[in-house]
C-alpha cells in the first residue's frame, strides 16, 4: 500500500480522486485477505501473516532498454514470524543466458538484446531451499542513443559532488568554475561547461583531455581530489558525451514524476545491511532504474551508512533513521528501524498502563523497537516537572505538601487543569510565543523602542489569557496593519521586514515559514532547496503574498511607525500582485508552497489569503509545527528534529503519534491548552527520568523523561523564589519575574549566560540549553546564589528567626528547592554536620549545596 | 576513541565522560590537581607530534582593517585611492608601511606580512564567521571558530580554560565566532575588559572567604543531596554539569587561576607601553594567559568599519593597534614565548580602494592584509601583493580556509579531521585550504 501522499506533492484533483479510490479498494482488499488468513490455519504475529518462509525478488520482471541501462534487483526473505530480511547479497543469482545479461548480487548488467530469466536461490539450514525468479528483457542495447546533458551528465555532476555547496556549486564557484547548486539551473551549467573556460572544459577532439575529465579523474591536480575512476560508467558516459560534441540533447527531464525507493521502510538489526532499489517514474507511465545514478545520504550517520550504490549498513546502535535519496531535484526517503531488543516479553510492559492516545502510540512504538519504558515518576517529581514545564515556576513548599498528602486518584490530572488556569501560564507562554514571533527591538535603527516591544508582549498575553486559538493568533499577526501604537502586532513585520526596501529581500519570508510552518525555506532564497522540493521559484511565489507590506518607518521623536499595505487603491494603481525573481527576472505571482496559484485582487491585502492558507485545518505543517514545538517543550525532544525543520525528507520519529496529535489539535480548533492537557495527562509525560536497563540510549521515543537544564528565565526565577530574594530588573517594577520580561535586550548577565533567546531569527535554536563553564562559575560563586542564601530578608533567615529546628529547616529548604522532603540518609548526614556547627553556617552551606545540585537546575 | 567525538549525546558504545572523570568529591578542590590532569592527558593524543605552536593569539580587527592605510600603501595611486598617509620605512629593507604605525615599523623584521588575503564576501557577519572558522556559511555561524575547535581538540589542561576571548567574542549585531555545533562546552571563556577599574573576571574570585573546611563541607553536602545523576544514565548535560562543576571549583580555589587574571601584577611601565586602553590591556592579558597555559586567546578589537570620516577613525585606532601589537610581540619575544606561540592579526576583509563621498572606505573582500608572528614564522617576510590600486591580489592569494588551516595545523590539529555534530552529522573541520608554506620556509 503506497504511503499517503504528502500534502505538498504536486497532484491534480483528478489524480487525488483516483488515488483515494485506489486506496479505498486496496484497504478493502487487504482486509479481505487478512480475514481469509485469520480463518485459515496460519501463524499471526506482528506484521504480515504468511504460512511459511518465502523468497521474493523485486522486481519480478524488468525491461532494460537502451545502451546505458542497468538495474538492481532486491531479494527478500519473508519469515513466518513476519520479519523481512534482505538477502540480496546472500542469495545466489544466476542468469539463464550469460550472453544476454549477467548478474552479481542483484545488480543486472545487460549485454545483448533478448529475454532471459534470473534465478535467485537461497539455502537455509532451517528453512530449506527457497527460489524465486526474475524475468529480464533487454532491448536497444546496441542503439546509438545520444547522450543527453540533462539526463546523463547532470546526474553525474550531482552524484559525485561537483556541484555541492562546498565546491563548484557555491555562489562564487571554485577556482573559476561555477555550477548551479545541485544542478538546479541546467542551462547555465551547460554554458559553464561548453562555452566558458576557453573551451578547455570539454574537448571533443580528444575527450580524455577535457578538463572536466582530467580534473574529475585527477589526471591533473584537482582541489576536489579524484571523484571518478577511469573505468567507471560515469567516466565513460562523460567521455561519450564529450566525444559526441557535448550536445544539449533531449529535453526530457521535465516529465519526471517521482522516485520510488524499495524497500521504503524496513526493520534491520544492528550491524546489518539492506540493498535499496530506486526507480524513476515518468509522467507517461514509463520507469527507469536509477539505483546507481541516484544520490544517497544517511540522515542519521551514527545509526547507518549508505554507499553510492544504495547499500545500507547499520552500525552497532539502535534507533530509527532515514536515508535521503535524491535525483535531479526530486527527493524521497527510506526509513530504517533498528530495534533495541527483540527479546521483550509482554510482562516487560505491564507496569505501563496507557491513559490516552499518546500512550497507546508510544507503547506501540516501544514494542516494535523492543524498548522498555521507565517507571512512573513520584508525586514530587511530577509536580515539580509539571509546574516548571507548564508555568515556568516552582511550586511552593505548602503546595508540595498539599499535593503529596492529596489522596485522590485523579490528583495529577487535576493538577494539570490547575496549572493551565494559573496566571503564570500566561506569563510563561507569552515568553515562548515572544521567542517565536521574534518580539525584540530592531537590530539597527530601531524605530519602535522598548515601549512597543512591551506593547506587543502585552498583546500576546491578552491572546493567551483569553485562550485564543493558535490559528486566530497567527492570523492576527500575519495580517496586522496600522500603526505601532494601536496594533502592536505590526511589530512582527517591523522586525522581520526591517529596513529592506522590498519585503522579499528581507527575512520576513523565512521567518513566516519557520515560525508558522516549521519549515526552513531560507535555503531556497538563492537556489533550490537541497533537501526538499522547494525551488527558488517557490520561495518567490510565496514571497509574493508579502510583497505589498510597506513600512512607514519613523523615529519615535518624529511620529509612529506604520505598516500599510501598499497600492490598495485599485483606481490609482492596477499593478498585479507579485515579485520579481532576482535570478531569472520573471514576475512571480502568489502561490502557496503547494504550488497552488492564488488569485489576489490588486486592491486587496494578499496576506489575508496567505493567512487563510497557512491556518487552514488541512495544512499539515501549520498544525504540525506547533504540535512539534509543544512535544519538544514537554517531552524534551520533538517528533521531528530539529524542531522547526519539517520536511518530507525529515519525517516524524513516530508517524502515527504525529498524525494523532495533529488531528487532535485540528479537531479542537487549535486550542493550545487542550493540546498541552493531552500531553501532560499522558503516562508517557509522567515517566521517571531515571533510565531503565536498555532505554538509556533512547533519545527519540520518549521511553523516559528527558532530564534537561532549565531555561534561563525559569532558573533565575527558581533561584529567587526558593531563596525568597527577588531580582530587580532595570526599568521594571519590583516583583516582576524573569519569565514576565518582555524584552530580550534587557541587560542581564544571568539571562545572557544561561542562553536566553535574543530572538534574532525565528529559529528555535536561538534559545540555548547548553551547560557551560561560566554558568557553573556563576552558580557556585556568583551573586545570584551566594548572596541570596544568606540574605537577611530571605527564606533561611526567616526560618532561623522563627527558631525552626534542624529537621524543619532541612525540610523547608528541600521543599523550596527540590520540591521534595529529604530522605532519611540525607537528614542524618545533615544532622551530624549540624551537630558540630555552632554558628548556624551549616544551613547556608546546605542551601548553597541544594541550589548547586543538578536536581535543582535541571527539570527531571 | 574518547577524545575524537565529544558529541552532545553519548552513545551506548562510548564510555561516558563521567567514567573518565570519576574524581572523588573532596579531591576536586584543586588539592589533587594531578588526578584531573591525568584524566585529561589523553585529550592531548589528537595532537600531532610536530606542532609548531603550543598556543595561539588571534588579534581580531572587527569591522575590516583598511589595508591601504596600514600595511599595503599605494603612494603612486591617484589621490582618491592612496588616502592621507605616507609610507614609512621599516626594519625590513624595502618594506614600507603606513605612517601611523611607527612602532610596528621598527618590528617588521620580527613578523611576516601577508598582503594577499582575499575572498569574495562583503557582509560583516558572514565574512567574520568565515574568517574565524575557515568555512563559508550563513551569517549566523554554521561552523565553529578555530578557537573552539582548538578547545575541543586540546581540552582542559590545568586550571584555566583552554580558549578565552578578551574582552568578549566579536559581535556586530549578534555574537560571532561562536562554537556552532560543538556547543556551549567549547565556547570561549570571556575575560572582560582588563582596562576597567578594579578589573575582575566575573565569578572567578571567591565571593566569600571560606576556610578549606568550609569548602569541604559544602562539597560534602552537595554530594549528599545531588543524587539525580546516579539514576540517569547517558545524559550528556548532566555529565557536562559535573565536569564543569569540578573545573569551576578549581578555577575559583586555585591561586594559579586567580593570579593569572590579576593584571595588576604587571608593572606599570609595561602596562603603559601596551597602552592604557581596552585593546592594549587585552593584549597584555593575552600574553599573561598564554604564559599560564591558555592555548587559544582571541583579542577582539572592534571598530574598524570606517565607512565615514576614516581619518578620524584610523587616527584613533591605528596608534592603539600600533602600541598594543608591537608591545605584545616584543614582550613575548623577550620572555621567550614567541617561539611557541603563533600570533595572527586580521579582520574580516579589507576596505575599498576608492574613498567614498563620506571620506570613508567600504567593505572589500578581494584584498586584505594580515600579520603573522611567532612559532616558526619566518621573520621579516612579505607574502603576496596587490595591484597598483590595492584592489586585487596579484600574487599568492591567501583564503580564509588557508589561514584557518595554517593556524590549526600549527597547533598540531588535523584540519581535515571529521567532527560530529549533536545530531550525528560528520563535518570536517575544514573542507579545503592549505598551510601557507611561505610563512614557514
Cell of A406: 492529596
Q: What is the pLDDT of residues A365-415, one digit of tens each?
A: 999 899 999 999 999 999 999 999 999 999 999 999 999 999 999 999 999
Sheet of strand A71-72: strand arrangement: A71-72, A107-110, A101-104
pLDDT attached to residue B26: 38
Q: Could you tell me whether strands B55-62 and B296-302 are parallel, antiparallel, or unpaired per DSSP bridges?
A: parallel
Q: How far apart are CA B283 and CA B285, in angstroms?
A: 5
Q: What is the pTM of this model?
A: 0.84
Q: How far apart are CA A707 and CA A81, in angstroms?
A: 37
pLDDT attached to residue A566: 67
Min mean pLDDT across A223-227, A722-726, A777-781, B257-261 is at: A223-227
Residue A467 zone, left/alpha/beta (φ > 0; ψ -120 to 50; rest): left
Q: What count of other Cβ atoms lies within 10 Å of the Cβ of residue B353?
A: 26
Give the rounded distance of the alpha carbon of A177 from its chain centre.
34
Q: Does residue A23 register a pLDDT over 80?
A: no
What proportion of chain A, given as a percentage, has pLDDT over 70? 92
Region B148-177 average pLDDT: 92
Q: Under an 8 A CB cutoff, do A849 and B207 touch? A: no
- Judge if ipTM > 0.90: no
Region A760-764 average pLDDT: 85
Cell of A213: 575529465
Residue B217 with chain A: CB contacts under 8 Å: 833, 842, 845
Cell of A464: 493567551
Give the rounded distance of the alpha carbon of A500 from its chain centre.
29
Q: Does residue A800 register a pLDDT over 90?
A: yes
pLDDT band at A252 (very low <50, low <70, confident <90, very high): low
What proportion of chain B, given as a percentage, has pLDDT over 90? 72
Residue B158 zone, left/alpha/beta (φ > 0; ψ -120 to 50; rest): left
Q: Does residue A444 register a pLDDT over 80?
A: no
A708/chain B closest Cα distance in angstroms = 7
What is the rounded end-to-end Cα distance, in angstroms, of chain A?
41
pLDDT band at A483 (very low <50, low <70, confident <90, very high): confident
Q: Are B404 and B134 in contact (CB under 8 A)?
A: yes
pLDDT attached to residue A44: 42
Q: How far apart are CA A358 and CA A533, in angstroms?
A: 31
Q: Does residue B35 register a pLDDT over 50?
A: no
Quickly tell me which residue has 583531455 as its cell: A209
Q: How far apart are CA A49 and CA A703, in angstroms?
A: 29
State the SS3 of A189-237: HHHHHHCCHHHCCCCCCCHHHCHHHHHHCCCCCCCCCCCCCCCCHHHHH
Q: Are B82 and B76 in contact (CB under 8 A)?
A: yes
Tell which residue, A266, A343, A255, A350, has the closest CA to residue A303. Answer: A266
Q: How far apart are CA B223 and CA B230, in angstroms?
A: 11
Q: What is the pLDDT of residues B116-144, one digit of tens each?
A: 999 989 889 999 999 999 999 878 788 99
Region A247-254 average pLDDT: 72
pLDDT band at B424 (very low <50, low <70, confident <90, very high): low
Residue A300 with chain B: CB contacts under 8 Å: 423-424
Min mean pLDDT across A845-849, B139-143, B249-253 is at: B139-143
HSE-CB of A507 using CA atoms within 13 angstroms? 20
What 3-state class would DSSP assign to A100? coil
Cell of A122: 537461497
Burial class (CB in 10 A: 0-12, 13-18, 19+), B320: middle
Peptide bond into A572 cis (omega under 30): no
pLDDT attached to residue A527: 64
Region A186-212 average pLDDT: 88
Q: Does residue A569 register a pLDDT over 60?
A: no
Q: Are A60 and A74 in contact (CB under 8 A)?
A: no
A831 contacts chain B (CB < 8 A): no
Handedness of CA B221, B224, B227, B233 (dihedral sign): positive
Q: What is the mean pLDDT of chain B?
A: 88
Q: Are A645 and A517 in contact (CB under 8 A)?
A: no
Sheet of strand A114-124: strand arrangement: A61-65, A128-139, A114-124, A92-95
Q: How far apart are CA A548 and CA A610, in angstroms?
A: 12
pLDDT attached to residue A398: 97
Q: How far apart are CA A214 and CA A238, in angstroms?
A: 11
pLDDT attached to residue A165: 64
Residue A198 zone, left/alpha/beta (φ > 0; ψ -120 to 50; rest): left
Q: What is the mean pLDDT of chain A?
A: 89
Q: How far apart are CA B51 and CA B376, in angstroms?
A: 10
Q: Are A382 and A412 in contact (CB under 8 A)?
A: yes
Q: What count of other Cβ atoms lies within 10 Å of the Cβ of residue A142?
A: 8
Region A517-524 average pLDDT: 84
Who's near A119: CB < 8 A, 6+ residues apart? A92, A93, A94, A96, A131, A132, A133
Q: Does residue B36 register a pLDDT over 60?
A: no
Q: How far apart are CA B20 and CA B40, in angstroms?
A: 8
H-state helical runs in A51-166: 154-159
What is chain A's length?
A: 860
Q: What count of other Cβ atoms lies within 10 Å of the Cβ of residue A137?
A: 16
pLDDT band at A673 (very low <50, low <70, confident <90, very high): very high
HSE-CB of A392 using CA atoms within 13 angstroms? 23
pLDDT attached to residue A7: 41
Rounded to the nearest 10°, the torsion over CA A759, A760, A762, A763 is -90
Q: Which of B204, B233, B237 sits opposite A708 (nearest CB)?
A: B237
Q: Does residue A743 register a pLDDT over 90?
A: yes
Q: Which of residues 734-753 of A touch B (CB under 8 A)?
A: 749
Q: Could you tell me whether strands A92-95 and A114-124 are parallel, antiparallel, or unpaired per DSSP bridges?
A: antiparallel
Min mean pLDDT across A553-562, A695-704, B29-38, B366-375 is at: B29-38
Q: Does residue A173 register a pLDDT over 80?
A: no
Q: Does residue B201 register a pLDDT over 60?
A: yes
Q: Which residues pair with B247 in a beta bridge?
A: none
pLDDT attached to residue B283: 98
pLDDT band at A126 (very low <50, low <70, confident <90, very high): confident
Q: How many CB pairs under 8 A join A and B?
A: 177
Residue A781 with chain B: CB contacts under 8 Å: 203-204, 206-207, 248, 252
Mutation pick from B224, B349, B422 vs chain A, by most beta carbons of A within 10 Å, is B224
Tell which residue, A616, A682, A628, has the closest CA to residue A653. Answer: A628
pLDDT attached to residue A172: 66
pLDDT attached to residue B236: 87
Q: Under an 8 A CB cutoff, do B229 and A854 touch? A: yes
Q: What are phi and psi of A602, to 5 degrees?
A: -55, -20
pLDDT attached to residue A395: 98
Q: What count of other Cβ atoms lies within 10 Å of the Cβ of residue A78?
A: 18
B380/chain A closest Cα distance in angstroms = 30
Q: How far apart are CA A472 and CA A52, in angstroms?
A: 56
pLDDT band at A272 (very low <50, low <70, confident <90, very high): very high
Region B186-192 average pLDDT: 95
Min mean pLDDT across A46-55, A419-428, A532-541, A702-711 is at: A46-55
Higher per-residue confidence, A366 vs A565? A366
* DSSP 8-state secondary structure symbol assigned to residue A250: -
Q: In sequence order, what DSSP letters do the residues of A652-701 get, joined into one string?
A: -SSHHHHHHHHHHHHHTTT-HHHHHHHHHTSTTTTB-SS--TTTTT-SSS
A193/chain B closest Cα distance in angstroms = 22
Q: Does residue A42 register a pLDDT over 60?
A: no
Q: Does residue B89 register a pLDDT over 60?
A: yes
Cα separations in angstroms, B317 against B62, B105, B131, B243, B302: 12, 16, 21, 41, 10
Cα separations in angstroms, A100 against A57, A60, A107, A110, B190: 20, 18, 14, 6, 71
Which DSSP helix (H) or strand (E) runs through A76? strand A74-78
Cell of B354: 576608492
Q: How far apart are CA B354 and CA A306, in angstroms?
A: 52
Q: Under an 8 A CB cutoff, do B248 and A771 touch? A: no
Q: Which of A763, A771, A782 sits opposite B184 (nearest CB)?
A: A771
Higher per-residue confidence, B397 vs A32? B397
Q: Are B314 and B73 in contact (CB under 8 A)?
A: no
Cell of B407: 593556524
Q: Does residue A18 register a pLDDT over 70?
A: yes
pLDDT attached to residue B441: 87
* DSSP 8-state secondary structure symbol assigned to residue B69: G
Residue B349 with chain A: CB contacts under 8 Å: none
pLDDT band at B357 (very low <50, low <70, confident <90, very high): very high
Q: What is the pLDDT of residues B292-349, one digit of tens each?
A: 999 999 999 999 999 999 999 999 999 999 999 999 999 999 999 999 999 999 999 9
Q: How far apart are CA B396 and CA B438, in angstroms?
A: 9
Q: Could you tell me whether strands B363-364 and B350-351 are parallel, antiparallel, or unpaired per DSSP bridges?
A: antiparallel
Which residue of A lies nearest to B434 if distances are taken between CA atoms? A223
Region A469-482 average pLDDT: 96
Quickly tell me which residue has 549477467 as its cell: A102
Please, what's the b/e burial string for A243-252 (b: 16 or more CB within 10 A of its CB; e: otherwise)?
Answer: beebbebeee
Q: How far apart are CA A182 and CA A186, in angstroms?
A: 10
Q: Does residue A8 register a pLDDT over 60?
A: no
Q: Which of A223, A755, A781 sits opposite B252 (nearest CB)?
A: A781
pLDDT attached to residue B190: 95
Q: Are A491 and A484 in contact (CB under 8 A)?
A: yes
Amino acid at each position: 500500500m503506497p504511503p499517503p501522499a504528502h500534502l505538498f506533492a504536486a497532484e491534480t484533483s483528478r489524480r487525488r480522486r483516483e488515488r483515494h479510490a485506489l486506496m479505498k479498494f486496496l484497504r478493502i482488499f487487504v482486509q479481505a485477505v487478512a480475514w481469509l488468513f485469520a480463518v485459515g490455519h496460519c501463524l499471526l504475529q506482528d506484521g504480515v501473516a504468511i504460512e511459511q518462509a518465502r523468497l521474493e525478488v523485486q522486481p519480478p520482471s524488468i525491461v532494460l532498454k537502451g545502451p546505458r541501462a542497468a538495474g538492481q534487483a532486491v531479494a527478500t526473505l519473508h519469515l513466518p514470524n513476519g520479519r523481512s530480511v534482505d538477502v540480496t547479497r546472500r542469495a545466489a543469482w544466476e542468469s539463464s543466458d550469460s550472453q544476454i545479461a549477467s548478474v552479481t548480487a542483484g545488480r543486472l548488467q545487460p549485454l545483448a538484446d533478448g529475454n532471459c530469466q534470473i534465478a535467485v536461490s537461497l539455502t537455509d539450514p532451517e528453512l530449506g531451499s527457497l527460489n524465486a525468479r526474475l524475468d529480464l528483457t533487454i532491448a536497444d542495447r546496441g542503439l546509438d542513443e545520444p547522450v543527453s546533458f540533462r539526463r546523463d551528465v547532470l546526474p553525474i555532476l550531482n552524484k559525485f559532488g561537483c556541484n555541492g555547496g562546498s565546491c563548484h556549486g557555491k555562489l562564487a564557484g571554485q577556482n573559476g568554475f561555477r555550477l548551479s547548486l545541485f544542478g538546479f539551473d541546467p542551462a547555465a551549467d551547460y554554458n559553464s561547461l561548453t562555452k566558458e573556460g576557453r573551451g578547455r572544459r570539454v574537448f571533443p577532439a580528444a575527450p580524455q583531455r577535457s578538463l572536466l575529465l582530467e580534473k574529475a579523474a585527477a589526471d591533473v591536480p584537482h582541489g576536489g581530489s579524484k571523484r571518478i575512476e577511469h573505468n567507471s560508467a560515469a567516466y565513460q558516459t562523460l567521455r561519450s558525451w564529450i566525444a559526441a560534441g557535448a550536445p544539449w540533447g533531449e529535453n526530457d527531464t521535465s516529465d519526471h514524476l517521482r522516485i520510488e525507493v524499495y524497500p521504503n521502510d524496513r526493520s534491520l538489526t544492528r550491524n546489518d545491511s539492506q540493498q535499496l532499489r530506486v526507480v524513476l517514474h515518468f509522467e507517461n507511465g514509463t520507469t527507469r532504474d536509477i539505483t546507481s545514478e541516484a544520490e544517497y545520504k544517511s540522515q542519521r550517520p551514527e545509526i547507518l551508512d549508505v554507499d553510492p550504490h544504495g547499500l545500507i549498513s547499520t552500525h552497532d546502535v539502535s534507533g530509527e533513521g532515514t536515508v535521503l535519496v535524491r535525483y535531479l531535484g526530486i527527493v524521497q526517503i527510506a526509513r530504517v528501524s533498528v530495534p533495541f531488543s527483540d527479546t521483550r516479553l509482554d510482562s516487560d510492559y505491564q507496569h505501563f498502563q496507557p491513559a490516552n492516545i499518546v500512550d497507546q502510540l508510544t507503547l506501540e512504538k516501544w514494542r516494535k523497537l523492543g524498548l522498555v519504558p521507565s517507571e512512573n515518576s513520584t508525586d514530587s517529581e511530577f509536580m515539580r516537572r509539571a509546574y516548571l514545564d507548564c508555568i515556568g515556576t516552582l511550586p511552593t513548599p505548602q503546595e508540595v505538601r498539599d499535593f503529596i498528602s492529596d489522596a485522590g486518584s485523579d490528583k495529577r490530572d487535576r493538577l494539570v487543569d490547575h496549572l493551565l488556569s494559573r496566571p503564570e501560564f500566561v506569563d510563561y507562554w507569552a515568553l515562548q510565543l515572544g521567542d517565536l514571533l521574534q518580539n525584540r527591538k530592531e537590530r539597527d535603527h530601531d524605530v519602535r523602542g522598548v515601549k512597543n516591544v512591551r506593547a506587543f508582549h502585552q498583546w500576546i498575553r491578552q491572546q493567551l489569557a483569553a485562550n485564543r486559538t493558535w490559528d486566530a493568533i497567527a492570523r492576527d499577526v500575519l495580517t496586522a496593519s496600522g500603526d505601532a501604537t494601536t496594533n502592536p502586532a505590526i511589530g512582527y513585520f517591523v522586525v522581520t521586514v526591517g529596513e529592506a526596501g522590498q519585503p522579499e529581500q528581507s527575512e520576513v519570508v523565512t521567518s513566516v515559514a519557520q515560525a508558522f510552518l516549521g519549515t526552513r525555506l531560507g535555503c531556497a532564497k538563492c537556489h533550490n532547496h537541497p533537501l526538499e522540493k522547494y525551488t527558488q521559484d517557490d520561495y518567490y511565489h510565496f514571497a509574493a503574498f508579502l510583497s505589498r507590506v510597506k513600512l512607514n518607518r519613523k523615529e519615535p521623536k518624529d511620529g509612529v511607525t506604520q505598516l500599510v499595505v501598499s497600492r490598495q487603491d485599485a483606481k490609482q494603481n492596477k499593478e498585479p500582485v507579485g515579485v520579481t525573481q532576482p535570478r531569472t527576472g520573471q514576475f512571480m505571482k502568489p502561490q502557496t508552497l503547494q504550488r497552488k496559484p492564488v488569485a489576489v485582487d490588486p486592491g486587496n491585502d494578499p496576506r489575508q489569503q496567505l493567512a487563510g492558507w497557512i491556518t487552514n485545518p488541512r495544512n499539515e505543517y501549520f498544525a504540525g509545527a506547533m504540535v512539534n514545538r509543544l512535544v519538544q517543550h514537554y517531552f524534551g525532544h520533538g517528533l521531528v528534529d530539529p524542531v522547526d525543520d519539517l520536511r518530507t525528507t525529515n519525517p516524524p520519529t513516530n508517524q502515527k503519534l504525529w498524525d494523532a496529535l495533529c488531528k487532535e489539535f485540528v479537531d479542537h480548533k487549535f486550542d493550545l491548552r487542550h493540546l498541552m492537557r493531552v500531553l501532560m495527562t499522558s503516562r508517557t509525560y509522567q515517566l521517571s527520568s531515571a533510565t531503565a536497563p536498555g532505554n538509556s540510549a533512547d533519545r527519540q521515543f520518549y521511553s523516559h523523561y528527558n532530564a534537561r537544564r532549565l531555561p534561563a528565565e525559569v532558573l533565575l526565577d527558581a533561584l529567587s523564589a526558593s531563596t525568597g530574594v527577588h531580582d530587580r530588573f532595570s526599568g521594571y517594577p519590583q516583583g516582576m519575574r524573569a519569565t514576565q520580561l518582555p524584552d530580550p535586550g534587557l541587560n542581564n548577565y544571568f539571562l545572557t549566560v544561561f542562553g536566553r533567546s535574543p530572538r534574532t531569527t525565528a529559529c528555535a535554536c536561538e534559545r540555548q540549553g547548553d551547560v557551560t563553564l561560566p554558568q557553573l562559575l556563576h552558580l557556585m560563586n556568583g551573586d545570584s546564589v551566594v548572596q541570596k542564601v544568606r540574605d537577611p530578608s530571605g527564606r533561611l533567615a526567616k526560618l532561623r528567626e522563627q527558631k525552626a529546628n534542624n529537621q524543619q529547616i532541612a525540610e523547608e529548604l528541600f521543599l523550596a528547592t527540590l520540591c521534595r522532603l529529604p530522605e532519611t540518609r540525607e537528614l542524618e548526614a545533615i544532622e551530624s554536620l549540624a551537630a558540630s556547627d555552632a554558628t548556624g553556617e551549616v544551613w547556608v552551606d546546605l542551601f548553597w549545596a541544594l541550589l548547586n545540585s543538578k536536581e535543582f537546575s535541571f527539570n527531571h | 576513541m574518547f577524545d575524537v567525538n565529544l558529541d552532545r549525546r553519548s552513545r551506548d558504545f562510548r564510555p561516558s565522560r563521567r567514567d573518565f572523570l570519576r574524581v572523588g568529591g573532596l579531591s576536586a578542590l584543586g588539592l589533587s590537581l594531578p588526578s584531573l590532569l591525568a584524566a585529561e592527558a589523553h585529550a592531548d593524543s589528537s595532537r600531532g607530534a610536530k606542532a609548531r605552536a603550543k598556543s595561539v593569539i588571534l588579534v581580531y580587527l572587527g569591522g575590516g582593517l583598511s589595508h591601504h592605510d596600514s600595511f599595503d600603501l599605494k603612494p603612486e595611486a591617484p589621490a582618491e585611492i592612496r588616502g592621507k598617509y605616507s609610507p614609512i620605512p621599516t626594519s625590513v629593507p624595502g618594506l614600507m608601511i603606513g605612517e601611523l604605525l611607527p612602532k610596528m615599523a621598527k618590528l617588521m623584521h620580527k613578523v611576516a606580512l601577508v598582503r594577499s588575503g582575499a575572498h569574495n564576501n562583503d557582509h560583516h557577519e558572514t565574512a567574520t564567521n568565515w574568517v574565524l572558522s575557515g568555512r563559508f556559511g550563513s551569517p549566523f555561524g554554521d561552523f565553529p571558530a578555530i578557537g573552539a575547535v582548538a578547545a575541543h581538540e586540546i581540552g582542559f589542561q590545568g586550571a584555566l580554560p583552554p580558549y578565552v576571548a578578551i574582552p568578549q567574542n566579536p559581535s556586530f549585531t549578534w555574537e560571532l565566532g561562536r562554537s556552532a555545533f560543538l556547543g556551549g562546552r567549547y565556547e570561549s571563556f570571556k575575560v572582560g575588559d582588563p582596562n576597567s577599574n578594579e578589573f575582575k573576571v566575573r565569578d572567578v574570585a571567591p565571593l566569600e572567604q571560606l576556610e578549606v573546611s568550609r569548602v569541604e563541607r559544602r562539597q560534602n553536602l552537595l554530594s549528599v543531596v545531588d543524587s539525580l545523576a546516579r539514576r540517569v544514565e547517558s545524559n550528556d548535560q548532566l555529565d557536562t554539569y559535573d565536569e564543569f562543576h569540578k573545573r569551576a571549583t578549581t578555577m575559583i580555589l586555585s591561586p594559579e587561576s586567580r593570579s593569572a587574571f590579576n593584571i595588576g601584577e604587571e608593572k606599570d611601565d609595561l602596562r603603559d607601553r601596551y597602552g592604557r586602553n581596552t585593546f592594549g590591556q587585552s593584549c597584555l592579558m593575552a600574553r599573561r594567559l598564554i604564559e599560564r597555559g591558555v592555548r587559544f586567546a582571541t583579542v577582539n578589537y572592534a571598530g574598524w568599519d570606517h565607512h565615514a570620516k576614516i581619518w578620524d577613525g584610523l587616527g584613533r585606532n591605528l596608534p592603539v593597534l600600533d602600541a598594543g601589537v608591537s608591545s605584545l610581540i616584543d614582550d613575548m619575544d623577550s620572555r621567550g614565548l614567541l617561539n611557541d606561540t603563533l600570533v595572527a592579526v586580521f579582520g574580516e576583509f579589507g576596505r575599498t580602494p576608492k574613498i567614498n563621498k563620506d571620506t570613508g572606505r567600504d567593505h572589500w573582500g578581494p584584498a586584505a592584509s594580515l600579520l603573522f608572528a611567532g612559532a616558526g614564522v619566518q621573520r621579516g617576510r612579505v607574502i603576496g601583493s596587490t595591484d597598483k590600486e590595492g584592489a586585487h591580489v596579484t600574487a599568492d592569494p591567501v583564503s580564509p580556509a588557508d589561514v584557518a588551516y595554517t593556524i590549526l595545523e600549527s597547533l598540531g590539529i588535523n584540519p581535515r579531521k571529521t567532527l560530529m555534530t549533536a545530531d550525528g552529522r560528520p563535518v570536517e573541520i575544514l573542507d579545503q585550504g592549505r598551510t601557507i608554506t611561505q610563512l614557514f620556509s
